[in-house]
Amino acid sequence: MAYWVLKLILTPFFYLFWQVKVEGRENVPKSGPAVLAANHQSFCDSFFLPLVVRRKVTFLAKAEYFDSWRTAWFFNAAGQIPIRRGGGKQSERALETAREVLAGGHLLGLYPEGTRTLDEFVHKGRTGVSRLSRECGVPVIPVGILGTTEVQPVNAKFMRPFKTVTVRFGKPLAMEPTGNPDDPFEDHDHTVCRGFTDDLMRQIAALSGRDYVDEYVPKRRTVDPAEAVS
């Protein structure tokens, strides 16, 4: 309920201060589970993407944002799910949480690059998104977000008004479902997951008007907001 109240309040505000354009919204299913996989250059990407989708979008957000009252209220009201990022068991727990969202028939929003990028490129994606498509039997919709770096550049605390933001939804992609739901990795082939993810990232790059580079986002010391499944 809080999600829709928050969206009802913020939607006219966003359309008043920014010119928001949407392309390909018909590619988002009206019902049933799906993954929205987008490029990520600005913190406010997580505002504009749910804004233009008529269904609720659940993001997996950094748990640290729930540790401070300054940000916890918003993420709780927006229905976002806290995750502790990291390798090994932490990554598996993040994927398990994502599976639960999809099993409930909901839309899951994530950034396959795993973090915000500081350059003008779309980078190599993490294969978690392909695993979700395969194990849960759900489509992945590539999303290109344009203009948010002008609204809120990296390290900027405030959003600049009177800019244009465009959100483009591509045609759904889907991995071939697993042959054995009780053992999803029985016939697992990582090269197939890698190929699916690479194709997805190239489509995201095309939709966002950015060049694709076949390397992961370089590590940096600054804290990254709104990270998702890696």
pLDDT in tens, 202-224: 999 999 999 999 999 997 644 34
Residue 114 lies in a domain: yes
* pLDDT above 50: residue 227: no
User: Cα(214)–Cα(198) distance, rounded to whole angstroms?
Assistant: 8
- Residue 17, judged by CB atoms within 10 A of its CB (0-12, 13-18, 19+), counts as middle
Give per-residue pLDDT as tens, 14-31. 999 999 999 999 999 999
Instruction: Identify whether 183 is part of a domain.
Output: yes
Host domain of residue 73: 41-213
Higher per-residue pLDDT: 65 or 200: 200
The CA distance from 110 to 92, in Å, is 15
- Interval 134-158: pLDDT, tens: 989 999 999 999 999 999 998 898 9
* Mean pLDDT computed over every residue of the chain: 88
The amino acid at residue 7 is K
Local confidence band at 90 (pLDDT 50, 70, 90 cut-offs):
low
Domain count for the chain, please give it. Answer: 1
CA distance 203 to 145: 12
Domain assignment present for residue 154? The answer is yes
DSSP label at residue 108: E
Judge whether 113 lies within some domain: yes
In a domain, 121, yes or no: yes
Task: Give the DSSP per-residue string, 29-58.
Answer: -SSS-EEEEE--SSTTHHHHHHHT-SS-EE
- Percent share of the chain, pLDDT over 70: 89
**Looking at the domain assignment, is residue 33 inside a domain?**
no
**Cα distance between residue 104 and residue 178, in whole Å:** 19
Asked whether residue 47 is assigned to any structural domain, the reply reads yes
The pTM is what? 0.89
Mean pLDDT calculated for residue range 170-196:
83
- Is 79's pLDDT higher than 80? no
Residues 192-202, mean pLDDT to the nearest whole number: 96
Is 176 inside a domain boundary?
A: yes
